[in-house]
Structure 1
Amino acid sequence: MCGIVAYVGHREACPLILKGLKRLEYRGYDSAGVALLNGEGLKIYKKKGKVVDLENELQNKDLHATVGIGHTRWATHGEPNDVNAHPHYSNHKKLAIIHNGIIENYDSLKQALLKKGHEFRSQTDSEVLVHFIEDIQQETNCSLEEAVRLALQEVVGAYAIVLISEDDPTQLIAARKSSPLVIGVGENEFFFASDATPIIEYTKDVIYLDDNQVALVRQGELKIVNLENERQAPYIQKLELELEAIEKGGYDHFMLKEIFEQPRSIADSMRGRVNREEGTLQLGGLSDYMDKLAEAKRIIIVGCGTSWHAGLVAEYIFEELARIPVEVEYASEFRYRNPIINADDFVIAISQSGETADTLAAIQLAKSKGATIFGVCNVVGSSIARETHAGAYTHAGPEIGVASTKAFTAQVTVLTQMAIAIAHKRGSITEELYQQLLLDLSAIPQKVGQVLKAADRIKEIAYIFTYARNFIYLGRGLNFPVALEGALKLKEISYIHAEGYPAAEMKHGPIALIDEDMPVVFIATKDSSYEKIVSNIQEVKARKGRVIAIVTEGDELIPNMVDFVIEVPETHDILIPLLSSIPLQLLSYYVAVMRGRNVDQPRNLAKSVTVE
């Protein structure tokens, strides 16, 4: 959740770290801090609020240093304030730590340290860890590297950490377990970060640390060992990420940029997979498991938040086309209800970041039961990409806005391709339908571009509803998950309470909420449920609800019944979510902007949820 940046080399560390922290603020922005080591010793500066608040705090201070660590926080243990902000000193202020994750047994460690006379300044589990490391070093008279390894063997939980020591201005020590950490390798310099975005400006050579690995940089040399002190050969990868992809590019917000990137991101998620001219579809990551998936008796899909909604869309599509039973599970609940998992089950795990802790835990449980795990994620080298048997990257590109937009449609696009490929393999669809689906899927990016042209119209509608305190979103069939996703987007960034329901369920309770002040968004495109949803709209209008309808272009019935209409182009029924979700993203965005919200960094949230 939190963002980590560290540097050791020949550059000025502080400006580099601050720039990196700004790029990682999507991971948390409750507070920020840096620790710098120079001739005056080890100094920590930290401040509640965003990185800009920290920058203001640093004015007129001597910040010269070529080694330093920095952190932007999403609070777990202890409220957001200056004291709980990272970095944290050890007991004797000789060490400082930054930490992403949760130390589950921190309280027992803390009690033992208190008995030894340690004094804690914060409420955090992270401070306990750096005290524990220092205590081991003093008790055993070992090196700091060994103290880190010994401490981590006693720790229960998840972590990505970087430590700096006043005793050695050439040294940084880092380690990870269930939380991402990447090392950038430059010319006589090294960069550490939670993801590659702070690194790309300086080097494209990176190493992704594996679980239970410890990295030591000292006197310009890098060494990686596991917790048993066995030397590990570093695997250097080349970043494909470009600097422009993580900048706003003239848009007011990253979220708006990412909404408008969807024609390209959807096309990229099909690139090299769908060949419209030859009428073929190939997912390389699926090829070795195609027979097993085609013969699967059941598919289980796990995900959280927006990824769970993508899974719900996939459930409809897999069952409609491939005729395989599908269950969609909240990853956060999956392992706590003793689920029935069989060796012939096929589990699809969905995560934008590839680091979602709840989804990783679900994967590990399913693997222990012998199931085959297929990952769908966006970040190359992420934990889920490495934990699964096979997978497919969505290729959506970096998504900086905390509220997911292009990652959702990219996930749905990849899952749709999987369903079409498996249906074709099983013979559950005709060759004619297979070719038509490939043709229609190839046309989606251009049709999304058409929908985006309605942005000004959607902005006008949003202005009318900035007063609202509640919204209801309704859809049927494949548009029901779209309703859930639309409601989630509005909640996340505008702080308006919103709920999504299957439209037919409205009369079983939610209809009691309808009055002249209640905005109701219907996803009412022309499909097999069209006549039924027309009836649902009439039920709302009879109770004076104010209706916004997402309709298929050319619809002449619904526009005469509702208050506001947004059109999307016609496409095959199973592809409708890729179009109907776009207006809901724009509606949420404009409502939030008009209410003065920080749409890229909504309160209490973080992009990559690496704690349970």
Structure 2
Amino acid sequence: MCGIVGIVGRAPVAPLIVDALKRLEYRGYDSAGVATIDHGRLGRRRAEGKLVNLEKRLGEEPLDGTIGIGHTRWATHGVPNETNAHPHFSNDVAIVHNGIIENFAELRSSLIADGYEFASQTDTEVVAHLVSRELAKGLGPVEAAHNALKQLEGAFALAIMFRGDEDMIIGARNGPPLAVGHGEGEMYLGSDAIALAPFTNAITYLEDGDWAVVRRGGMEIFDIEGKPVDRKRQQSIGSSYLVDKGNYRHFMEKEIYEQPEVVSHTLAHYLDFANGVAKDFETPFDFGKIDRLAISACGTAYLAGLVGKYWFERHARLPVDIDIASEFRYREMPLSKQSGALFISQSGETADTLASLRYCRQEGLPIGAIVNVRESTIARESDGIFPTLAGPEIGVASTKAFTCQLSVLASLAVKAAAARGEVDAEGEKLLVRQLSEAPKLANQTLKLAGQIEKLARDLSHYKHVLYLGRDTNYPLAMEGALKLKEISYIHAEGYAAGELKHGPIALIDEQMPVIVIAPHDRIFEKTVSNMQEVAARGGKIILITDAKGAKHSTIDTLDTIIVPDVPEIISPIVYSLPIQMLAYYTAVFMGTDVDQPRNLAKSVTVE
């Protein structure tokens, strides 16, 4: 989603703001802008498209000033162009905004009736005019901002500056994250710690309903009623993040190749490989006593949870209900206090997942969260967190975050199985040993890159692709389809292989490649029968299997990708890599923006 940066500094801030915005590019955006105050005057530069366009504009028309705000915009209200780009001005007010103002139409009508003119199609400009209208009533900047905030409905993070005041930015949060960074004679605002990492590692995270008056000498935080509140100042790990492509063409490629290492770190966090047991880490619920587990997530995280459902039910005999978070929060699911709730989010800021968490909180369930950002809102509002150790994931299409989520879920399934008495000591030791092999086998799988890249060149000529799989390979089929359409824009669908005859088979012809994920397991023969149905109708099959599966499949394929033999429990982790590489190389051949595909945001912080 959109990115916000604000600096009350001692040197010209425009170049610093642009550099900070670059660290937020992974969130997704389609325009950018910076505003500063210099000798009492507001100045602004905006540009459609990537930050390089804004840099060019600033090179031609520099902005001076030691206070400023900047923004990368992901379009919601209004098309992506320079007019709709932030910051927005209204008389003496400059503002940047992440989120959606739900009552903007009502507010806009009121403002127009009072003579305010709108230059953009955005909901953000409403906020600027609201503050301006409060100033016109004779209020000071702080009181005007507070009065305007009380009129807003929806999700928002805001940074506001006032003409003539070169020592104050007002920040506000209701939903999307916003952090205040502490410096020596300087203060900062940012959407996350990564943006502020070069400036400071001392961070205060605003909570929902908070607004802050930020000056060079410090800050004051208030709740929506205007009462002072205290928020914890903490050391951020953002400063240790190395956000660099290195020798790779794209962040996504780099992150694919980081998976053996980060999966190893994540598994080692939860499992004692030497003794063959799950470690004695704290959990917010007692796996031995809960009667069900409710899992909720969005996108790729939801598909990780769906794989986890198979593991929990098979190994721990623990029933699992899993929902897409945007559905969970509205269907008013009946919940038992004897159950546990588990939420999965890479950023820890996913709006629908957070809303589902709060529903479970109201119902009195113990809450756990699998997150990659320990300082995130979901992490802070959970009873316990299960961190993934993926490090920063910059590519919008999730790769290493997904396999680390799988690693956590597999580890939790082993712990639950032992706690519920569903595996004995030897059984637990076997599962732990099998999981310990995942990094090695993932590294071997990455050596298939040359073959997959060649295949991707052929795949890039098609307009539609079907993915099939059974058991845990069904969620992988959906994940493969999601990856391909996210970054290559080729239409793709993932189905349970057994559903082929119930509709999707109507699509099969010579122009419909079918990617079948089928390790040689207990249901391999069932999947082969589905492949035969595809072959009989002229479909082009791409088979992802192991050596035994390749040997026992007598069906002609467009290509067969042979993955190392893997134990069943780590199959989803290892088989994730070839489907990621296939999507990546296809997108490269298509010439798309792999790391920042159109219309997508890394962190969906509004509904």
TM-score bucket of the superposed structures, by smaller chain: over 0.9
User: Could you tell me which residue of structure 1 aligns to residue 52 of structure 2?
Assistant: 52
Alignment of 1:315 onto 2:309:
yes
Alignment map for 1:138-153 (pairs within 5 Å): 138-139=136-137, 141-153=138-150
Alignment of 1:114 onto 2:112:
yes
Tell me the secondary structure at the aligned position of residue 42 of structure 1: strand
Tell me the secondary structure at the aligned position of residue 486 of structure 1: helix
Alignment of 1:160 onto 2:185:
no
User: Could you tell me which residue of structure 1 aligns to residue 233 of structure 2?
Assistant: 236
Among candidates 346, 370, 379, match of residue 373 of structure 2: 379
Structure 1 runs (4+) deviating above 4 angstroms are none
Q: CA deviation at 1:270?
A: 2.0
Alignment of 1:608 onto 2:606:
no
Among candidates 391, 414, 420, match of residue 414 of structure 2: 420
Among candidates 92, 98, 113, match of residue 96 of structure 2: 98
User: Could you tell me which residue of structure 2 aligns to residue 284 of structure 1?
Assistant: 281
Conservation of the 8 A alpha-carbon contact between 1:559 and 1:565: no
User: Could you tell me which residue of structure 2 aligns to residue 132 of structure 1?
Assistant: 130
User: Could you tell me which residue of structure 2 aligns to residue 566 of structure 1?
Assistant: 561
Tell me the secondary structure at the aligned position of residue 329 of structure 2: helix
Within 1, Cα distance between the matches of 2:88 and 2:288?
Answer: 52
Tell me the secondary structure at the aligned position of residue 192 of structure 1: strand
User: Could you tell me which residue of structure 2 aligns to residue 11 of structure 1?
Assistant: 11
Among candidates 510, 519, 526, match of residue 525 of structure 1: 519
Tell me which amino acid in the other structure corresponds to 2:466: I
Alignment map for 1:65-84 (pairs within 5 Å): 65-84=65-84
User: Could you tell me which residue of structure 1 aligns to residue 326 of structure 2?
Assistant: 332
User: Could you tell me which residue of structure 2 aligns to residue 466 of structure 1?
Assistant: 460
Out of 330-339 and 402-411, give the one that drifted further: 330-339
Within 1, Cα distance between the matches of 2:374 and 2:140?
Answer: 34
Within 1, Cα distance between the matches of 2:11 and 2:335?
Answer: 52
Tell me the secondary structure at the aligned position of residue 245 of structure 1: coil
Deviations 1:494-535 (A, max 9, x none): 000000001111122111211222211110102221111111
Deviations 1:171-229 (A, max 9, x none): 11101111111222122111211112221122222111111111212242222222233
Out of 374-383 and 21-30, give the one that drifted further: 21-30
Among candidates 182, 194, 197, match of residue 197 of structure 1: 194
Tell me the secondary structure at the aligned position of residue 592 of structure 1: helix
Tell me the secondary structure at the aligned position of residue 294 of structure 1: coil
Q: CA deviation at 1:242?
A: 4.9
Alignment of 1:549 onto 2:547:
no
Conservation of the 8 A alpha-carbon contact between 2:434 and 2:567: yes
Within 1, Cα distance between the matches of 2:12 and 2:24?
Answer: 19
Which structure 1 residue ranges, 5 or more long, are not aligned?
Answer: none
Out of 579-588 and 61-70, give the one that drifted further: 61-70
Among candidates 384, 398, 404, match of residue 404 of structure 1: 398
Conservation of the 8 A alpha-carbon contact between 1:262 and 1:445: yes
Tell me the secondary structure at the aligned position of residue 336 of structure 1: coil
Alignment of 1:596 onto 2:591:
yes
Tell me which amino acid in the other structure corresponds to 2:577: I
Structure 1 residues 434 and 235: alpha-carbon distance in aligned structure 2, compared to 1, 3 A threshold:
same
Within 2, Cα distance between the matches of 1:466 and 1:213?
Answer: 48
Among candidates 503, 513, 531, match of residue 507 of structure 2: 513
Conservation of the 8 A alpha-carbon contact between 1:109 and 1:128: yes
Deviations 1:529-585 (A, max 9, x none): 111111111221222211111112444223764231112222221221001111000
Conservation of the 8 A alpha-carbon contact between 1:538 and 1:561: no
Conservation of the 8 A alpha-carbon contact between 1:514 and 1:545: yes
Out of 108-117 and 410-419, give the one that drifted further: 108-117
User: Could you tell me which residue of structure 1 aligns to residue 208 of structure 2?
Assistant: 211
Within 2, Cα distance between the matches of 1:65 and 1:252?
Answer: 36
Q: CA deviation at 1:306?
A: 0.4
Alignment map for 1:292-311 (pairs within 5 Å): 293-311=287-305
Structure 1 residues 244 and 608: alpha-carbon distance in aligned structure 2, compared to 1, 3 A threshold:
closer
Alignment map for 1:476-515 (pairs within 5 Å): 476-515=470-509
Deviations 1:249-271 (A, max 9, x none): 12110000111110111112123
Conservation of the 8 A alpha-carbon contact between 1:473 and 1:521: yes
Conservation of the 8 A alpha-carbon contact between 1:403 and 1:493: yes
Within 2, Cα distance between the matches of 1:440 and 1:241?
Answer: 33
Tell me the secondary structure at the aligned position of residue 59 of structure 1: helix
Tell me which amino acid in the other structure corresponds to 1:150: N
Within 2, Cα distance between the matches of 1:521 and 1:46?
Answer: 44
User: Could you tell me which residue of structure 2 aligns to residue 180 of structure 1?
Assistant: 177
Out of 596-605 and 40-49, give the one that drifted further: 40-49
Among candidates 236, 247, 251, match of residue 248 of structure 2: 251
Instruction: Report the aligned-residue RMSD.
Output: 1.5
Structure 1 residues 262 and 283: alpha-carbon distance in aligned structure 2, compared to 1, 3 A threshold:
farther
Within 2, Cα distance between the matches of 1:229 and 1:173?
Answer: 13
Aligned pair count reads 606
Which structure 2 residue ranges, 5 or more long, are not aligned?
Answer: none
Tell me which amino acid in the other structure corresponds to 1:472: L
Conservation of the 8 A alpha-carbon contact between 1:493 and 1:602: yes
Alignment of 1:274 onto 2:271:
yes
Structure 1 residues 11 and 553: alpha-carbon distance in aligned structure 2, compared to 1, 3 A threshold:
farther
Tell me the secondary structure at the aligned position of residue 443 of structure 2: helix
User: Could you tell me which residue of structure 1 aligns to residue 37 of structure 2?
Assistant: 37
Within 1, Cα distance between the matches of 2:167 and 2:412?
Answer: 49
Structure 1 residues 531 and 124: alpha-carbon distance in aligned structure 2, compared to 1, 3 A threshold:
same
Conservation of the 8 A alpha-carbon contact between 2:532 and 2:555: no
Within 2, Cα distance between the matches of 1:563 and 1:84?
Answer: 47
Within 2, Cα distance between the matches of 1:243 and 1:16?
Answer: 19
Structure 1 residues 242 and 268: alpha-carbon distance in aligned structure 2, compared to 1, 3 A threshold:
farther
Conservation of the 8 A alpha-carbon contact between 1:9 and 1:220: no
Q: CA deviation at 1:272?
A: 3.0
Conservation of the 8 A alpha-carbon contact between 2:135 and 2:141: yes
Structure 1 residues 611 and 559: alpha-carbon distance in aligned structure 2, compared to 1, 3 A threshold:
farther
Tell me the secondary structure at the aligned position of residue 257 of structure 1: helix
- TM-score normalised according to structure 2 size: 0.97
User: Could you tell me which residue of structure 2 aligns to residue 86 of structure 1?
Assistant: 86
Deviations 1:131-175 (A, max 9, x none): 112222332x33322222222222111111111111211111101
Structure 1 residues 242 and 526: alpha-carbon distance in aligned structure 2, compared to 1, 3 A threshold:
farther
Among candidates 578, 581, 586, match of residue 576 of structure 2: 581
Deviations 1:44-103 (A, max 9, x none): 21122111111222222231211111101111111111111111112x2x1101000111
Tell me which amino acid in the other structure corresponds to 2:23: R
Conservation of the 8 A alpha-carbon contact between 1:283 and 1:418: no
